[in-house]
Chain A
Amino acid sequence: MSRNLLIRLGSTMVTLFGVAFIVFILVRVVPGNPIAMMLPPGASDADIALLTAHYGLDKPILTQFWIWLGRALQGDFGMSISLRQDVMSLIFGRLPATLELATLALVIAMALGGALAITAARFRGTAVETGIDLANGASLAMPDFLWGLTFILLFGVLIPVFAISGRVSPSLDLPFVTGFYLIESILRLRVDIFLDLMRHMLMPALALALPLAAVIAQLLKTSLKEAMQQDYVMLARTKGFSETRVLISEALRNAVIPTLTLAGVQFTFLIGGTVIVERLFSYEGLGNMAIDAVINRDLPLIQGIVLVFALIFVVINLIVDLSYALLNPRLRHG
């Protein structure tokens, strides 16, 4: 187990290193001098030389990579060109908004997907199952981008119950010390702020959650139906447990493992989806900032954001792999 863990950690490191290298090269091959873009117009030659040396740009490209990597590991991604602020603090300013949105979407997807799977498995072979299958197919066919637009039309314009842009009403006075507004509003029991946040976050979260919910529902339903054929379920039935109780207390525990693995991989797709969904809802998260950074050709900011996203992706995959090994008894002593 610990040997596997080390191998897995090592391969994660290699992946991250590869990502860092590609991002570095990608940004270097872009036409244009990054130093000229960092300095205000009319900077003297001496200033340019100074900054070039500071970023190590006068050295060979491989040396440059090591210098950049060393700084990046210490959290120094340089200054944003368009916003004239430290890239790392910009990213940390926006990261909580994106993490809260993605987590809310994940919770919705698991609750919805799980409930649909259990219902479909409980009423397997009936019209209920067929209906749930159809709904799953429909929500899978539609990407998060279109779900977002549909919600904007339905619940933003036609029946205006939700806000269609932003994260929180600007008129609200936020007494918060961190960027995790949703969590702080719960901890501080500020129901008014919590409801306002939900009014903004529910639609983008739902747009992100629906495709994932459909995947979870489909997969969990299949494994539940398989588990219901197993001997231990038969045994529980002969003990006189009700069908619903057997399903939830016996079958679910065993069926949930393969679903969890897939849900983890799909969660990375969900996080990737935040980029465009945040844009759609003018939500002040990392993804929205990334698009602005690209439009403004803000190279240091782009580098930082892509690396942070890649780090999140890699960490999720690692957690999924490890929890799979922990949960699956057959792999535990592997």
Chain B
Amino acid sequence: MAEARVIRVKAGPRLWLSGLWLTFFALAAIFAPLIVPHDPLAQDLMLGKLPPAWVAGHEPGYLLGTDSLGRDVLSRLISAARPALFVAIGAGLAACILGSVLGLIAGFFGGWTDRVISRIVDIWMAFPPVLLSILLVAFLNPSLQSVIIAIAIIDWTRFCRVVRAETMQQRRMDYVESARAMGLSSIATLAREVLPNVLPAIIVLLSLEMGIAVIVEAILSYVNLSVSTDQATWGSMIAEGRGIIYQAWWVLVFPMIALFLTVLAFSQFGEGLKERFDPVLR
């Protein structure tokens, strides 16, 4: 029933615009090797710090200019969408599954199970997230997998808290009582009855979390703790651009814009979904 209602409502401009950018971002990431105008790693010191095509002193073929090693900024920008998408999906889903399962269990069973899980959440929230992610990645050795594991380990609490509260609310509903009266086991009740009603909240959080994951990956690659240097990332481009900010602003500005639009799109997509799902807000 909930699904039918969602489909009937027409999507607003917020969902359309953010969905459009996310599609564009995903396509750029998937087809990056086919569409980049230059090899994103190819260096040519003769062509270093070329400005974008609309600034005097540019070279044809380098639309957004080059960095200090003569690498094409546009190609690097497109190629960096890959790790960003990979982390958004991987870390988003991992944190989502871990947090939602624990939240469902805590909210549904209550009692000491709830107390233990809630206490762990409290302890977790006492860690500074950026510091903890840097710590984890450094210990796991910098790589995209480590970034994903670190984000999942840190951010599952976001899902756990919301899902727990939602589940507690659902547990008191009549349909849960009747499902149990019909002899459904706890697990079956959770999976078949409670989960579908908590799912909208989870999907909204997942969209927000993907945006957070993209930012955290950028921060980690900014401090050189993400993928190795043979893969361009928005964070590493920003770090390079920060260093040569007085000579070549474009190396900093374009990855910043890409990062901003992607993060904005994820959060707006989540907000848009929330409006769709929540009958009171609508």
Task: Tell me the A residues contacting B by CB distance below 8 Å.
Answer: 11, 14-16, 18-19, 22, 26, 29-30, 141-143, 145-146, 149-150, 152-153, 156-157, 164, 268, 271-273, 275-276, 279-280, 287, 290-291, 294-295, 297, 302, 305-306, 309-310, 313-314, 317
Taking a contact as CB atoms closer than 8 A, the residue among A14, A290, A302, A306 that contacts B119 in the complex is: A14
A19-B123 contact, Cβ under 8 Å, with A149-B256, A295-B138: yes
B249 in contact with A157 (CB, 8 Å): yes
Are A18 and B123 interface neighbours, CB within 8 A? yes
Q: Is the CB of A279 within 8 A of B249?
A: no
Q: Which of A143, A302, A310 contacts B263 (CB 8 A)?
A: A143
Residue of A nearest to B271 (CB): A137
Residues of B within 8 A of A164 (CB): 245
B267 at the interface (CB under 8 A from A): yes
Query: Would you list 14 pairs from A and B whose C-beta atoms are within 8 A, ordered by A residue?
Result: A15-B126, A30-B139, A141-B263, A149-B238, A271-B128, A272-B130, A272-B131, A276-B130, A287-B130, A295-B225, A306-B132, A309-B128, A309-B131, A314-B126
Stretch at the interface among B87-95, B188-196, B197-205, B215-223: B215-223
Whether, in the assembled complex, B259 has its beta carbon less than 8 Å from a beta carbon of chain A, the answer is yes
> In the bound complex, what is the Cα–Cα distance between A166 and B15 (angstroms)?
41
Cα distance, A30 to B139, chains bound together (Å): 6
By the criterion CB–CB under 8 Å, are A313 and B260 in contact?
A: no
Q: Is the CB of B135 within 8 A of A294?
A: yes
Query: Which of chain B's residues has its CB closest to A272's CB?
Result: B128
Contacts of A279 in B (CB 8 A): 222-223
- B 116-140 contacts with A by CB, 8 A: 119-120, 122-123, 125-132, 134-135, 138-139
Q: Cβ of A294 and Cβ of B126 under 8 Å apart?
A: no
Once A153-B245, A273-B130, A310-B128 are accepted as A-B contacts, the answer to whether A291 and B238 lie under 8 Å apart by CB is no
- Select A153's contact among B135, B218, B225, B249, beta carbons within 8 Å: B249
Closest chain-A Cβ to B256's Cβ sits at a distance in Å of 6
B38 is an interface residue with CB less than 8 A from chain A? no
Give the top 10 A-B pairs by smallest Cβ distance, nearest first.
Answer: A18-B123, A272-B128, A294-B138, A309-B128, A275-B130, A310-B126, A313-B126, A141-B264, A275-B131, A294-B134
Q: A22, B253: Cβ atoms under 8 Å?
A: no
Taking a contact as CB atoms closer than 8 A, the residue among A22, A291, A317 that contacts B134 in the complex is A291
- Set of chain A residues within 8 Å of B259, measured between Cβ atoms: 146
A77 and B222 alpha carbons, distance in the complex (Å): 29
Annotate B16-47 by CB proximity to A: 1 below 8 A, 0 otherwise.
Answer: 00000000000000000000000000000000
The answer to whether B131 touches A290 (Cβ under 8 A) is yes
Whether the pair B222, A276 counts as a contact (CB closer than 8 A) is yes
Cα A156 to Cα B249 in complex, Å, equals 12
Interface size class of B (residues with CB under 8 A): 35 or more
CB distance from B83 to the nearest CB of A (A): 17
By the criterion CB–CB under 8 Å, are B245 and A275 in contact?
no
Known: A141-B268, A294-B225. 7 other contacts (CB 8 A): A18-B123, A22-B127, A142-B264, A145-B222, A268-B125, A310-B128, A313-B128
Interchain CB contact under 8 A, B242 and A152: yes
Q: Are A22 and B123 in contact (CB under 8 A)?
A: yes
Query: When chains A and B are docked, how far (Å) is the Cα of A15 from the Cα of B131?
Result: 18
A310 surroundings in chain B (CB, below 8 A):
126-128
- Which DSSP category, helix, strand, loop or mixed, fits chain A's interface? helix
Q: How far is the CB of B162 from chain A (nearest CB, A)?
A: 15
Do A153 and B252 touch across chains, with their CB atoms under 8 A apart?
yes
Does A275 lie within 8 Å of B238, measured CB to CB?
Answer: no
Q: Enumerate chain B residues within 8 angstroms of A287, measured Cβ to Cβ.
A: 130-131
Distance, CA A29 to CA B222, complexed state (A): 26
B267 touches A141 (CB 8 A): yes
Q: Which residues of A contact B54 (CB under 8 A)?
A: none
Instruction: Look across to chain B and name the residue whose beta carbon is closest to the beta carbon of A273.
Output: B130
Interface status of B112 (Cβ within 8 A of chain A)? no
Measured CA separation A281–B268 after assembly (Å):
29
**Contacting residues, chain A, for B223 (C-beta < 8 A):** 276, 279, 291, 295
Nearest opposing residue in chain A for B246, CB measure: A157
Smallest CB-CB separation from B245: which chain A residue?
A157
A294 and B134 alpha carbons, distance in the complex (Å): 7
Check A15 against B245 for contact (C-beta < 8 Å): no
**Bound CA–CA A130/B259 (angstroms):** 27
B260 contacts which chain A residues (CB < 8 A)? 142, 146
Q: How far is the CA of A310 from the CA of B47 in the complex (A)?
A: 48
A305 CA / B134 CA spacing, docked (Å)? 13
Q: What are the residues of chain A within 8 A of B219 when measuring CB–CB?
A: 145, 276
A271 CA to B267 CA, complexed, in Å: 22
B127 to chain A, nearest CB (A): 6
Shortest beta-carbon distance from B253 to chain A in Å: 7
Q: Are A143 and B215 in contact (CB under 8 A)?
A: yes
